[in-house]
Amino acid sequence: MSRYKRRRTAINAEEQYDKLFESRGVKQIEQYRTFESEPVEQKDLDEVECHIHFWGMGDTYWKLSSIFYGSPEHWWIIASYNRKPTEAHNKLGDKIKIPLNIAEALQVVS
């Protein structure tokens, strides 16, 4: 299942992208919106056992999900758990917590 299947989209027709649109022969583009989740209380997050990972070059949530959960489709759990909806919210060396028990993590972040 694509990780984008349930993502909301938005139409972008901003003037600042006119040259890009022209080069692609379009007047606007449809793009995915930033993932949004409900806030989770820190005490609930602290109850789930986690692996500590330091964000490095080439890291993505879907790659970490593949390594720790055996599938890229649970990338959003890592993003939600760390309150950083996209990879762009991380910088090199940031401490990322990866919940070890996916069932417990789902109860907290869903």
State residue 44's pLDDT score. 83
Per-residue model confidence (pLDDT) at position 50? 95
Domain co-membership, 48 together with 102: yes
User: 22 and 50: one domain?
Assistant: no
d(CA 34, CA 88): 11
User: Does residue 23 sit in the same domain as residue 46?
Assistant: no
Let me know whether 94 and 60 are in one domain.
yes
CA distance 15 to 22: 11
Same domain, 61 and 93: yes
- pLDDT at residue 3, rounded to an integer: 59
Domain that includes residue 3, residue range: 1-33
The answer on 84 and 53 residing in a single domain is yes
Number of domains in the chain: 2
Please list the rounded mean pLDDT of every run of 10 residues in the chain (110 residues).
70 88 90 71 87 97 96 92 92 96 84
Local structure of residue 35 (DSSP, 8 states)? P
**Residue 12 β-bridge partners:** 29
* Same-domain check for residues 52 and 102: yes
Could you tell me if 31 and 14 are in contact, meaning their C-beta atoms sit under 8 angstroms apart?
Answer: no
